[in-house]
Structure 1
Amino acid sequence: MNYTVTESATPSIMLQGTCSNAGKSVLTAALCRILLQDGLSVAPFKAQNMALNSFVTPDGKEIGRAQAVQAAACRLEPDVRMNPVLLKPSSDTGSQVIVLGKPVANMRVKEYVQYKPTAFAHVQTAYDSLAAEHDVLVLEGAGSPAEINLKAHDIVNMQMARYAQSKVLLVGDIDRGGVFASLVGTMELLDSWEKDLVAGFILNRFRGDESLLDPALEYTTGRTGKPFLGVVPYVMQLGLPEEDSVTFKESIGRQMPVRDDALDIVLVDLPHIANFTDVDAFGIEPDAVLRVVNSVENLGRPDCIIIPGSKNTPGDLHWLHESGLSAAITQFVEAGGVVVGICGGFQMLGKTVSDPSSIEYVAQASSDSHAQLHATQQGLGLLPLRTVMGEDKVLTRVTGMHVPSGATVTGYEIHHGVTEIAGSANALQQAVTREDGSVIGYGTACDHSFQTVWGTYLHGVFDDDVFRRAFINDLRSRKGLMPLDGVQASFSIDPALDRLADTVRDALDMQQVYSVLGL
């Protein structure tokens, strides 16, 4: 694939990695905040993102959650131009392709490869438009630029850097080991023009005495001709949403000690889990422990089970039944346990989920063990609701109300399904409504502030500090614990971004960074 180059490029710099989860997204956010602090108008850009964590822009379009965080680092509203192509996997071989914030189609890998020239034309237009409005752009790559099976149709790494006339900083994660081999090996697999774009290396997530690295740094620079621009320490409790599911998946089944005076909150890890960042805020609460489980054996005896969003609700419902978790969740509710469903998890709480047009399940490969699922899947049956997947996708920011408590809640909706009452509504009560009174959540009937079983389409519902504390205090009361007065933790990423920027500024040679930018 041959691409043209911009005639007059806005200063830019790109962070690429030796692998996925090397820390590119976080370092991109850090550089965005540093440049903003230094008085520049800066914006993030990622040509193509494959992620199930997404976010809705103010104009009702969908981008990767990481670019929304990076926009916050720039103190900008999220803009679809920051992530013009988003891929949301719905199976091992297929994804929903979202271009400029709107779904285009469900495509398998070979279909998407054929579509890439069209996608890149949209990428170029978006980049040029965004670059024209800012002093500098910080670009993020994806995976590794040395994936030689993908390089011929690359639109996110070196080809994007060449189009933007951007130099590249190559990031390696030293915490996982083998980082120097990864850096040298990546350079060995790059073409000569790609090597010329690399301005230097960054080591990320280092623990220990930095002086011990000197021989390795000198050797690697001598071997590649590329300098190190800094060694970034491992930042504990970063306080930012996870972009990649790698770290999230590593926590599955991990047995964390739960104090008698703390709450045990379980998140079910669905095979096609989406927007698992909806529960991030529980991680900062002093009286809550968040566990991620994907089996009955690891379920334990929690105080609350949260069923998150899914990019393949019918398939994940099938998995819940097959794994035995659906029966365990039902027994948990019968014993008085609290269950909350968000988006796809909300849909699963009902009696049925139908996907007659294969809106979510169309990308399944024939080799998939669940490829022949029925058009209608039995839900958990905890609420008298039914959901039907439709062609139209709801993408909207919401300010609404949690009906039982009267609390204001904010967030965003991303879903294809339409959920309606199925049968008698006597055992049902509204849980969440929009400002206009339309219902986006139901739960069991109750006469106090929180229902035993409830769900909502509202992503980010627990991000509000006051609402989250009220919910936790309700769980405490059910457990026989006294409520804690007032907000105990503030879930604001802005202070976290400042702390991150301070750490990265101290670690990097910012004079070299500015030299790379030509500023």
Structure 2
Amino acid sequence: MGKNMAVVEKNGQSGHGGNIHLFRRKIGTEKQDIVDFSANINPLGPPEWLRSVLSRAVADLGHYPDPDCHDLIDSIASYGKYPRSQIVPANGSTELLYLLPRILPCKRVLIPVPAYIDYARAARLAGKPVEEVVMSEQGGFNLDPLQLVRHIKAQDLVIIGSPNNPTGALVHPAVILKMATDFPEAFFLVDEAFLDFVEDGESVGGKLENIFTLNSLTKFFALPGLRLGYGVFSGEIADQMREHLPPWTVNSLAQTIGARALQDTSYHEQTRRTCTLLRESFTEKLRCISALTVYAGNANYIFIRLAGNLTSREIADRLAGQGILIRCCDNYTGLDDSFIRVAVRTEAENSRLAEAFTTIFEKKAPSARKKKKAGSLMFQGTSSNAGKSVLTAALCRILLQDGVRVAPFKAQNMSLNSFVTARGEEMGRAQVVQAQAARLDPDVRMNPVLLKPNSDTGSQVIVQGRPVKNMSVSEYTLFKDKAWDIVCASYDSLAAEYEAIILEGAGSPGEINLKHHDIVNMRMARQAESPVLLVGDIDRGGVYASFVGTMEVLAEWERRLVAGFVVNRFRGQASLLDSAHTYLRDYTGLGVFGVIPYLHDLGLPEEDSVSFKG
């Protein structure tokens, strides 16, 4: 696979990171588990409202997009405090980067490097000569304004990235404003594609007539496939940019999503806070590896110099063999094959890359870890009483018969069907049946939290088999952080003792009023690193609509955990369901793992039951 990665890098049309499609074609698979550190995309993923907005916006596809992008421009103006007349939306900021040198009355393009490789390409395609001023490695490749101003002439277009790509270095707005003031006959284009990731980042858009900015929306909102950006230009240049852009350059979906995204201040704040913490943690891990020189940056990526005999291409090849992609920086002016750039991703993914670097450079086996968690599978349902409990018990018995040491687990159960263990501890009766199916003594770790309803708005809360207190819904919501720690400890303890854990969810993962403080469904699946099978009861009717509807309200990270579907309690000939299964796969990309027949008179306790079962 390593050789293939080198071919991908050399033959790629763009010379950029993020070409996961070409990589998949080269290695001949669409299913490869690839972690892409070569593209700098928000590790939180897109906002959770994305699918609902897309669904509503589909109706607008029967009409041409708004050529004036009225609502989108309103949102941009409000977000950046820019005059509306200076805002030019586009099909990605790259469209504006390639257009500006064609219409601007500049004689030359001046670029401090290393810098985004398309700055020079866009200038040369516009027929403009390019001068590149190399910033010193001793200065961390940070912009040296004293060095740069010695090269600036009248009618130059100076292109600056802030934060810089690939270094992540931020240029203080005062530095840019002073240069633009000192050289009023030059133009300054500031690429702020990654500025949104910077806490308290300040745009220079609209500050002076000779300063223009480019802004990307798809990196910050994890939607690079959507293609959406904007620029802020002085009035006359903005008019010329609009005149030279093709009509309807921003499609309806991009306009709708962009307008909504810019209004989502809670997502903005969460992203900046999370990405800063992830970058700091990742940087600390990487700096523990002596062969890596890690440069300080302000964006959602990290710039690194490699020591030793291995080139960036050789490192990329080795990592590609593990399904990890990084960005080699040898095609940046001013850099050689000892530099790489890596995106900031999730904590687990960042740790995986740091460990891979340690193995390569320090010639160590992967660090000794805790005993590997048991293999796991989770049943979740489209509703309560979809059959999750019975399927969990059945799979426990099947695995036991196959010689697998298996245990059941349900983080939280709500039931009056409780059971008292030999140690005098209370747990849900459904988990007791599952334990019996695995021929195990009931253990409260299998059901660490039990809620016994005692009113329409409250329950007795039992934790690890012992009553804590009666709580209202709001009280229990506040208690959930503590409950979550106990749930995780219980699961980890079980997972260390058994080869497999079969988890059961509660209710439905699609209950949108409960998702934000979930401890039993998708959050638990992610914690257990468990694939999810979504179970639906066809005997009730509407099962395929329930499957589709549940998937539609899941966030992208939740959808990635779903492996497929199980149709439960079917009466009839299973082949009659083939067309429905085809539709389901076409709509969701996932298949039906099995059809379970209706079983009469089981007499087993149901999950999430608030009534006694005889």
Q: TM-score with structure 2 length normalisation?
A: 0.40
More helix, by proportion: 2
Structure of higher CA gyration radius: 2
Q: TM-score with structure 1 length normalisation?
A: 0.47
